[in-house]
């Protein structure tokens, strides 16, 4: 299987189109105004998909199997409460609290209409027919019930393969009801589509896998560095390789004050690397790194003085070196990074300059998106590595996949001595 940016761009447009149709149909059916949130093409491993999905809230899914121009399956996932609220808008029954027969059938109907919306969007763009099976209702907490038992998808059935996954978010305006849509095409079906849509020689899929494994090393390296410098045990919680339109990158950053450290890097590939902490996490890190500053002594927890700023900047700098050294080792090249730029601003504003800069050359970007967390300490760090597209393609083509395996793995974070 080979892919190129043009083919992935078409996929992305199909996913957006499908999300638009699904949102429109939901509005039509329930009279609830809806908007399409972020749409992403993810490359994720089965185990990571399950981990990202398992947030121990009960979910309701409506799953259909697809055949024809796309084979695989499509799942609409609501949180339980959201499903009940939607049912309330279409069933006259007051205050539905449980999943009785009527609720089940109403929610299945809603989910099915939305699945069909997505699929119709895809079929429109592909100008082909996609057949949809009868819907299956799934109510559970874990990912197993939603995603397993499906043969031959490039999906989470196979734990360690890099799966191509389409994710979209639809939200209702004015209320807190959101849904996610997941589409897992089979490997075979994707391969055929990619061959049809590709306009260049493309990149072999296993190169992308190699690169992703390399990024995994980088992510672990960041966690190790953070653990060493702060003495707080941190680990990689979620890691995915996204293919998104540039506009979607700032949109996926939370609308809140964030503290960040940004770099540009130069080499093959070149690009940008941004670490973002929410204020609370940044504060905890500062407290761990600068023990002389007691809580509350310097007033507003949302303000960072020079010493605190430099502590975070230094942490960012060391994390960046670790991350990029990992890439450079595997690619057998040198990747230099700039001096760090500290930023304390509303989330989107911290990444939009990078997006604006890349936007003059490319429409889409591969984003290596990682969340580092400290168990039980409420510390989150989001890492966005956004390579320049042309360089990334070159770097991928030069990548010797076997070398990824040969390169020594960095120390597991559990082995780091924090004393």
Per-residue 3-state assignment (H helix, E strand, C coil) for 84-127: HHHHHHHCCCCCCCCCCHHHHHHHHHHHHHHHHHHHHHHHHHHC
Provide the minimum distance between the beta carbon of 305 and another protein in the complex, in angstroms, as a whole number: 11
- Minimum CB distance to another protein, residue 21 (Å): 9
Under rule CB under 8 A, how many of the chain's residues touch another protein?
46
By the rule CB under 8 A, 363 interacts with another protein: yes
Which of 101-109, 160-168, 182-190, 252-260 is the region at the interface with another protein (rule: CB under 8 A)?
Answer: 252-260
Binding status of residue 269 toward another protein by CB under 8 A? no
Shortest distance, position 9 Cβ to another protein, whole Å: 10
Phi, psi of 380, rounded to the nearest 5 degrees: -125, 140
Binding-residue pattern over the window 339 to 358 for another protein, x denoting contact by CB under 8 A: --x-xxxxxxxxxxxxxxx-
Please, which residue, 166 or 184, has the CB nearer to another protein? 166
C-alpha–C-alpha distance, residues 249 and 38, integer Å: 9
Residue 311 C-beta: closest distance to another protein, Å: 17
Task: Decide if residue 193 touches another protein (CB under 8 A).
Answer: no
Please identify, using beta-carbon distances, which residue of 26 and 41 lies nearer to another protein: 26
Should residue 102 be labelled a site residue for another protein when binding is judged by CB under 8 A? no
Interaction between residue 158 and another protein (CB under 8 A): no
Does position 36 bind another protein by CB under 8 A?
Answer: yes
What is the nearest approach in angstroms of another protein to the Cβ of residue 291?
A: 24
125 binds another protein (CB under 8 A): no
Q: What span, in angstroms and rounded, lies between the C-alpha atoms of 214 and 221? A: 11
Task: Select from 128-136, 209-217, 306-314, 335-343 the region that touches another protein (CB under 8 A).
Answer: 335-343
CB of 115 to another protein, least distance (A): 17
Least distance between another protein and beta carbon 34 (Å): 5
Told to check if 33 binds another protein by CB under 8 A, we report yes
Binding flag, residue 360, another protein (CB under 8 A): yes
Contacts to another protein by CB under 8 A: 20, 23-24, 26-27, 31, 33-37, 173-174, 246-247, 250-251, 253, 255, 257, 262, 264, 270, 272, 302-303, 338, 341, 343-357, 359-360, 363
């Amino acid at each position: 299987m080979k892919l190129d940016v043009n083919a992935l761009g078409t996929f992305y447009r199909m996913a957006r189109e499908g999300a638009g149709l699904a949102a429109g149909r939901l509005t039509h059916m329930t009279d609830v105004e809806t908007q399409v949130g972020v749409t992403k093409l993810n490359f994720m491993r089965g185990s990571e998909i399950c981990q990202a999905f398992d947030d121990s809230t009960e979910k309701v899914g409506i799953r259909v199997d697809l055949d024809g121009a796309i084979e695989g399956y499509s799942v609409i996932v609501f949180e339980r409460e959201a499903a009940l609220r939607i049912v309330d808008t279409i069933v006259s029954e007051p205050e539905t609290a449980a999943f009785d027969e009527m609720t089940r059938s109403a929610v299945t109907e809603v989910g099915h209409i939305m699945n069909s919306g997505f699929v119709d969007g895809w079929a429109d763009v592909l100008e082909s027919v996609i057949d949809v099976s009868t819907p299956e209702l799934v109510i559970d907490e874990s990912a197993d019930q939603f995603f397993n038992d499906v043969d031959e998808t490039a999906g989470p059935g196979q734990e360690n393969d890099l799966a191509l996954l389409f994710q979209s978010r639809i939200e209702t305006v004015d209320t807190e009801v959101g849904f996610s849509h997941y589409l897992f095409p089979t490997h075979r079906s994707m391969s055929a589509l990619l061959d049809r849509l590709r306009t260049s020689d493309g990149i072999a899929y296993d190169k992308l896998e190699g690169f992703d494994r390399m990024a995994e090393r980088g992510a672990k390296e960041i966690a190790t560095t953070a653990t060493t410098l702060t003495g707080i045990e941190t680990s990689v919680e979620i890691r995915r390789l996204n293919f998104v339109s540039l506009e979607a990158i700032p949109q996926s950053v939370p609308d809140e004050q964030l503290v960040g450290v940004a770099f540009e890097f130069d080499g093959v590939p070149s690009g940008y690397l941004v670490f973002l902490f929410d204020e609370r996490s940044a504060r905890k890190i500062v407290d761990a790194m600068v023990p002389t500053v007691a809580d509350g002594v310097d007033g507003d927890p949302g303000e960072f003085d020079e010493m605190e700023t430099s502590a975070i900047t230094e942490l960012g700098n060391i994390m960046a070196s670790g991350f990029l050294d990992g890439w450079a080792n595997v690619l057998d090249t040198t990747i230099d990074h700039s001096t760090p730029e500290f930023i304390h601003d509303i989330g989107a504003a911290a990444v939009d300059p990078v997006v604006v800069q890349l936007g003059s050359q490319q429409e889409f970007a591969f984003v290596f998106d990682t969340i580092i967390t400290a168990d039980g300490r409420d510390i989150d760090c989001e890492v966005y590595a956004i390579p320049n597209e042309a360089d990334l393609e070159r770097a991928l083509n030069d990548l010797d996949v076997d070398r990824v395996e040969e390169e020594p793995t960095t120390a597991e974070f559990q082995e780091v001595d924090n004393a």
